[in-house]
Amino acid sequence: MTNNQSTWWMLLGIGLAIAALMGCGAKGQPAEFEQTAGEMKEGPGVLTGEEGALVVYDSKRGGSFPQFKGQQSESSATETSEKAGEAAPAASDTSAGSKPIVAGQTSTGTQVSPEAAREFQEFQEWKKEQQAFREFQEWKKTAQGAAEYKEFLEWKEWKSYQEWKKQQGQ
Amino acid sequence: MKKFSQLGLFALTIALTILLILPAAQAVDFKISGQINRAVLWGDNGNDDDVKFVDNDNSSTRFRFTGGNDFDDNWRVGITWEVEMQSNPSNDTDIDIGQNDDTSDVDFNERKMEFFVQHKSFGKLYMGQGSTASDGTSEVDLSGTTVVNYSSIEDMAGGFNFRDDDDNIITSVGGAFSNFDGFSRRDRVRYDTPKFGPVYFSGSYMNGQSWDLAGRLAWKWEDVGKLAAAAHYTAADTQRDPYDQWSASASWLFDFGLNFTAAYGARNDVEGRDEDPYNLYGKVGWKFDKWAFSVDYTYSENVGADDDEAQSIGVAAVWNIWESVEFYGSYRYHDLDRDSAQRDPGVGNAEEISAVMIGGRVKF
């Protein structure tokens, strides 16, 4: 009986705390319930980076081991840019009238295919987008960002409601 | 009993049928992850002191395979296979103060071997070995120090034995404290409802005809903080679990770092016992930058034996030096007062136990 009373008091306390916060007019929203005690650490891993897991297969990201593919393209991109770096002085060394080294061509004469160059460019753009996405996620966490993002979502909802209303009218 | 078994088979059949009739997979993923959590544990039982090299049972060394298929926009079917492997678990009495050897058996222990079928509107159904609905309901904690301190205080030094001043063993720390955290992980079928605002409910049914029900809540107030809470109840009262039990825990984290956690658990009508055991737990913490600090207090009554009074105070610090690496340190004081009628003849009252744990958890 005493045990049950203690539990009721605790539950009542929690309820009152919630009611008090709601009464204060603090804006709230449902959050994700996360169990941390006893569970595995969330977040990045020392060997697996930002993912926090070795991704063996992900169909959305191009199949098996997308992390390594990313690293490969990154390292090949680095190599390419290094080669491009080598190419630049070689280009400046070329005397007037001699054939300039075009983009994708290295000083050693190795040709980089247009597909590879395009892929590299796409990769760079993807990296920029990733950075922008991370900034967006951070922004969403800030007080101002959260409010603006909520407003944006409400605006989207209103827009789709308008669309729906329009369709109903037709 | 038979009815419930039939219900389980029916649920399995439904799940398999759903798998067969669903459209082709839209997205497939499969991942491997794990962590290593090792610590140095010093303990003093009033007669002797010792240093141990342990696997921190607050969040044991383990690895897991996870994966899933998304089918159209609503369905997802996935698996979790998680196993732990602990050398010298910190809650094992084989590493008691005065024991010089390492634990003899280092095996893989099952944690989770389950699949789930999830629908955005209908909820999530689990089959296999995994968390029961009540698992974790005494352990909601937003302090950021759960890697070394939370309501299951016996995870840190549960292997140390309380002894009297003649070195007679009374019981272990693990035998004197319990947070009555439901049925932990078992072979079961579990269903989670979809979220109703901030709340969702779960129920599970397992071997021995035991069952449990639980509810969970998470709510965030803009520029104020976050609340998480959970509670469970079971009156299964079966041969496997011959009692009824319930627990609740809640944690509040202000945006500026201050946090409070409270938990309560009780077991009623335990066979062969006159008194009902219960446990109270409270914690105050502070989180900032890469640091988290906390102080907690727990009081257990009638857990190891009728009229037992056990209490513990802990202090913890966690340093998240990098996102994948954290270092921690904790001091914990344990005290047990056992009635003379409950002790063996000639055995005195328990000496206090102090323990210090310093270690690190690395996710790989």
Residue A6 has pLDDT above 70, yes or no: no
Q: Which residues of A touch B34 (CB under 8 A)?
A: 40
Asked if residue B70 lies in contact with residue B76, where contact means CB atoms within 8 angstroms, the answer is yes
Say whether pLDDT at B200 is over 90.
yes
Percent of chain B at pLDDT exceeding 70: 93
Contacts of A34 in chain B (CB under 8 A): 218, 228
Contact A30 B218 (CB under 8 A): yes
**Cβ of A6 and B264 within 8 Å?**
yes
Position A141 scores a pLDDT of: 77
**Which residues of chain A lie closer than 8 angstroms to B136, CB-CB?**
35, 37-38
Q: Among A27, A33, A45, whose Cβ lies nearest the Cβ of B228?
A: A33
Residue A88 banded pLDDT, cuts 50, 70, 90: very low
Comparing B124 with B94, the larger pLDDT belongs to B124
Confidence of residue B72 (pLDDT cuts 50, 70, 90): confident
Q: Is the pLDDT of residue A108 over 50?
A: no
Using the Cβ of A142 and the Cβ atoms of chain B, whether some distance falls under 8 Å is answered with no
Nearest to B314 by CA among B357, B274, B276, B277: B357
Residue of B nearest to A6 (CA): B264
Q: How confident is the model at residue A144 (pLDDT cuts 50, 70, 90)?
A: confident
pLDDT in tens, B142-189: 999 999 999 999 999 999 999 999 999 999 999 999 999 999 999 999
Binned at pLDDT 50, 70 and 90, residue B140 comes out as very high
Q: Which residue has the higher pLDDT, B61 or A87?
A: B61
Dihedral over alpha carbons A32, A37, A38, A44 (to 10 degrees): 60
* pLDDT greater than 80 at residue A111: no
Q: Percent of chain B, pLDDT > 90?
A: 82
Check residue A133 and give its pLDDT. 85
What is the structure's pLDDT at A132?
84
Residue B119 has pLDDT above 50, yes or no: yes
Confirm or reject contact between A28 and chain B (CB < 8 A): yes
Please tell me the distance from the alpha carbon of residue B20 to that of residue B71, in angstroms, as a whole number.
11
State the pLDDT confidence band at B14, using cuts at 50, 70 and 90. Answer: low
**Average pLDDT of chain B, as a whole number:** 91
pLDDT of residue A61: 83
pLDDT of residue A119: 81
Given the cut 0.85, state whether the ipTM is greater than it.
Answer: no
Using 50, 70 and 90 to split pLDDT, how confident is the model at B265?
very high
Q: Average pLDDT in the B325-350 region?
A: 95
| Nearest CB partner across the interface for A32, out of B141, B147, B218 | B218
Concatenating the DSSP letter of every residue in B68-90 gives EEEETTTEEEEEEEEEEE-SSBT
Reported as a single tens digit per residue, the pLDDT across A68-86 is 776 655 555 545 444 444 4
Within 280-339 of B, beta carbons closer than 8 Å to A belong to 280, 322-326
Inter-chain contact A40–B268, Cβ cutoff 8 Å? no
Element (H, E) at B189: strand B185-192
Cβ of residue A33 closer than 8 Å to a chain B Cβ? yes
Among candidate residues B333, B332, B337, the one with its CA nearest the CA of residue B300: B337
Q: Which residue of B has its CA nearest to A33?
A: B218
Which residue from B minimizes the CA distance to A4?
B266
Q: What's the pLDDT at A106?
A: 37
Q: What is the pLDDT of residues B233-245, one digit of tens each?
A: 998 888 899 899 9
Judged by average pLDDT, the poorest of A63-67, B97-101, B280-284 is: A63-67
User: CB neighbours (10 Å) of residue B350?
Assistant: 26
For A48-109, where are the E strands, in sequence order? 54-58, 63-64
- Asked if B20 is an interface residue toward chain A (Cβ–Cβ < 8 A), one would say no
Give the pLDDT score at A91. Answer: 37
Q: Which residues of A touch B231 (CB under 8 A)?
A: 11
Cβ distance of B216 and A27 shorter than 8 Å: no
Across B291-316, average pLDDT: 96
CB contacts of A142 in chain B (<8 Å) are: none
Q: What is the pLDDT of residue A10?
A: 66
According to DSSP, residue B355 is labeled: E
Cα A28-A31-A37 angle, rounded to 5 deg? 130
**Chain B CB contacts of A14 below 8 Å:** 227, 229, 250
Instruction: Give CA–CA dist B58/B91, Å, rounded.
Output: 9
- Residue B361, pLDDT > 70, answer yes
| Closest partner CB to B139 (pick from A37, A51, A146) | A37
Mean pLDDT of B290-298: 97
What average pLDDT does the structure give for chain A? 71
| Closest CA in chain B for residue A26 | B221
Q: Tens digits of per-residue pLDDT, A38-70?
A: 899 888 999 998 889 999 998 888 888 887 776
Q: So what's the pLDDT on residue A122?
A: 83
pTM of this structure: 0.74
Domains present along chain B, CATH in parentheses: 2-363 (2.40.160.10)
Residue A88: both structure tokens together: 């630049």
Range with the lowest mean pLDDT among A30-44, B45-59, B126-140, B307-321?
A30-44
Residue A37 confidence class, pLDDT cut points 50, 70, 90: confident
If 0-12 CB within 10 Å is exposed, 13-18 middle and 19+ buried, where does residue A56 land? middle
pLDDT category, B12, cuts 50, 70, 90? low
| β B62-71/B25-44 pair status | antiparallel
Q: Do B150 and A37 touch (CB under 8 A)?
A: yes
Do B285 and B292 meet the contact criterion of CB atoms below 8 Å apart?
yes
Top pLDDT among B16 and B281 is at B281
- The residue-averaged pLDDT of B215-240 equals 92
